[in-house]
Chains A and B, each alone.
Chain A
Amino acid sequence: MLYSEIVIAGCGNPLFADDGFGPAVVEEMKAKHTLPDNVTIIDAGLGGPHFIFTLLDPEVTKKLIIIDIADFGAEPGQITKLRPEDLPPGSYRDAHSWDLTEPLQRIKDKIEITIIGCQPAKVTAPEFELGLSDEIQKAIPKTIRVILESIGVDYGTTIKCLQEERQRGTAETCGSGKTS
């Protein structure tokens, strides 16, 4: 099988500055973390909708985590979790299907989908520019933490401590990404 039980896909184009957030997170995770066998992590780049979302087998894949940038009116580098229902039309449109479908909407009832969105500082399209902004770069460790948490991988004691702190209402101390 091409894809396993859990699929993590980093979407976006590194040639448009912060749009490269998804692939950058994937690169970092591949380099620094050993993931369980039931996890496929993939730099989806520009090919998410037709190379991944339309090729998942719901019999095998139960969970899909998408990492991408999202403009939700927050400070650059802030991250959020989204569900396919939260997405405005056209976010992941498969230009290759016959009616410009949204592949995520087709699979969302069979596969649990989480989208981790990061507020970008700059997206240079249509001009090319390489490299992430500092704020976005800093969001990578935090994003990885969130991913590991949602796939149930033990990431030392950090996640647990963070959760406890958050419950105690001291969440602001955890937002900086310094703990990673």
Chain B
Amino acid sequence: MSKVVEISPTTRHEGHSKLVLKVNDAGIIETGNWCSITPVRGVEKLAVGKTPEQVPKIASRVCGICPIAHCLAATEAMEASIKCEIPKDALMLRHILQLANRCHSIALHDILILPDFYIPGTETKINPFTAEEPVRSVAKRIQRLREIAQTIGEIAGGECIHPSNPRIGGMYRNCSEQAKIKMYDLAKEAVTLSHQQAEFMIAVIRNYHKRDFVDVGGMKVPMIKELGYHDQGYLATHAFYGSSSLDECPSWDIRRFKEARPYDWYMGEMEVSLEEPRYPIGGTTKIGTKTNPQMEACTGIPMYDGQPVEVGPRARLVTYKYFDEKGTQGQNIAREMEYQDCFYEMIDCIDELNPAGKVVADFIPDGDGSLGWASNEAPRGTDVHIARVKDWKVQYFSMLVPTTWNFATCSKALEGAPWQLAEVIMRGYDPCVSCATHMIVVDEDNKLVAQKLIQ
């Protein structure tokens, strides 16, 4: 008889999500539901009535991991709606910014997944924070790659977290000749590092998937060859950047897109009937707890050609580079393969960039209310923003973020895997569920803190 197990919250990714799994007697997942439990916040509503300049700034604040992708996608959706073509040098700066963002994200994802893996040839799991070799030098390399990516992002985008340089019609300013050389030098350093890093990661990932058993919180779990396999198909709109026009790049067609309600997709109310206190961190949900993915899931189910699809690094490599590895292994390897490609592409873009060229369009129309869309290949996959601008006011705005695409696809990919490995499959998608406010709440120390009040 099937049992229900719940892992909540899931760890080592951004945001708040949970896994509800219906498993058989052998612990194999029959039906898996991965759902976001971060409340919907209605950015669409907030954007209406604002100027197109404001909305990309707003969009960049919905997420702390890919603000760059959201900022660029929103900017280009506005430009698509008002039909504004930007100068080539502005586009190059945006490309560089986009690639910097992706490289930082891959490095970060390496840290997240490393604790699942083993040092090849040993039974030791990798702790990225240990001071011992060989892990220490890997951690240092990751940090250097993150630093390089952020520095290049800062030069091209103005600021490295929420970029200030992109604007409707191009970029506010071009970079100096000196800054161009600096970006070039950094990218060249990173090419070597990313080669080393990708080689290390691919070796570690392959080693993990070749094992017969893996350890999860002291449990010996059989590794299956088809971990994370699904038949849902892929969606990618560009190998590196994105597109906002079907003529320029016939990749994302709004007419093939539809959205289903979570109510029609997820499982209904159930009671948790399997509990495992050894599961990291802190065990799974207690037996008897009610769970209701249908009502708790906070995202819609986007469909392309009538079914959920996978977006992300593997989708990009399958679509543009004839990549054919499947499952979680293929996904993680695809991400590592993008590493070096990103820096090579970045060097090409820096070569193309003319620091003396203009970066703002000569004419920026006010918009006639036509629908514009822009897809941006964010680190986690296709990020589509849709906008309608009329007389320099936003009438409609919508964001279709990468992990929303992947929720339903990953739920399918969970089927057939031992439930203890569900999080490993989920992490392969590098989920970025959402960002929320963080407020410091100092309750218990009220007195102590009040004394330090600055008058």
Contact = CB atoms under 8 A, between A and B. Distances in A.
A15 B58 contact: yes
Contacts of A23: 162
Given A43-B159, A55-B150, A96-B112, A175 B450 contact: no
Most B-side CB within 10 Å, residue of A46, A68, A120, A146: A46
A61 interface: no
A81 B454 contact: yes
A2 B145 CA distance: 12
A11 B302 CA distance: 32
Given A96-B111, A98-B128, A100-B11, A91 B438 contact: yes
A112 B323 CA distance: 48
A68 B161 contact: no
Most B-side CB within 10 Å, residue of A47, A71, A142: A47
Given A46-B435, A98-B112, A55 B440 contact: no
Interface string A30-72: 0000000000001111111011100100000000000011111
A1 to B, nearest CB: 8
A98 to B, nearest CB: 4
B41 A126 contact: yes
Given A80-B453, A88-B442, A171-B455, A45 B161 contact: yes
B65 interface: yes
Given A47-B67, A55-B146, A70-B442, A166 B455 contact: yes
What band does the interface of chain B fall in when counting residues whose beta carbon is under 8 Å from A? 35 or more
A76 B147 CA distance: 37
Contacts of A69: 439-440
Interface string A81-96: 1100011100111011
Nearest to B434: A126
B218 to A, nearest CB: 16
Contacts of B455: 166, 171-172, 174-175
A69 B437 CA distance: 10
A95 B15 contact: yes
A57 to B, nearest CB: 8
Nearest to A99: B281
A71 B42 CA distance: 25
B138 interface: no
A19 B61 CA distance: 12
A46 B108 contact: no
Contacts of B58: 15, 130
Interface string B411-455: 000000000000000000000000111111111111011101111
A19 B437 CA distance: 7
A50 B439 contact: no
A47 B159 CA distance: 12
B115 interface: yes
B258 interface: no
B219 to A, nearest CB: 18
A86 B129 CA distance: 25
A127 interface: yes
A81 B63 CA distance: 27
B147 A55 contact: yes
A128 interface: yes
Nearest to B60: A45
B444 to A, nearest CB: 7
Interface in B120-179: 127-129, 143, 146-147, 150-151, 154, 159-162
B268 to A, nearest CB: 24
Interface in B56-77: 58, 60-65, 67
Contacts of B63: 46
Contacts of B270: none
B42 A88 contact: no
Given A2-B154, A166-B455, A46 B64 contact: yes
A180 B160 CA distance: 30
B115 A125 contact: no
A78 B439 contact: no
B437 A71 contact: no
B43 interface: yes
Contacts of A70: 439-442, 449
B261 interface: no
Nearest to B54: A130
Contact of A88 (B60, B67, B281, B441): B441
A79 B454 contact: yes
Contacts of B30: none
A116 B151 CA distance: 26
17 contacts: A2-B154, A42-B161, A43-B159, A43-B161, A47-B67, A47-B162, A50-B108, A69-B439, A71-B443, A79-B454, A80-B454, A88-B442, A96-B14, A126-B38, A128-B42, A129-B46, A172-B455
Closest 9 CB pairs of A and B: A46-B64, A126-B39, A70-B440, A171-B455, A125-B437, A47-B64, A47-B161, A72-B449, A98-B115
Interface of A: 2, 11-16, 19, 23, 42-48, 50-52, 55, 68-74, 78-82, 86-88, 91-93, 95-100, 115-117, 120, 123, 125-130, 142, 146, 166, 171-172, 174-175
Given A45-B60, A73-B442, A98-B12, 8 more contacts: A12-B437, A14-B61, A44-B161, A47-B65, A71-B443, A72-B449, A97-B111, A128-B46
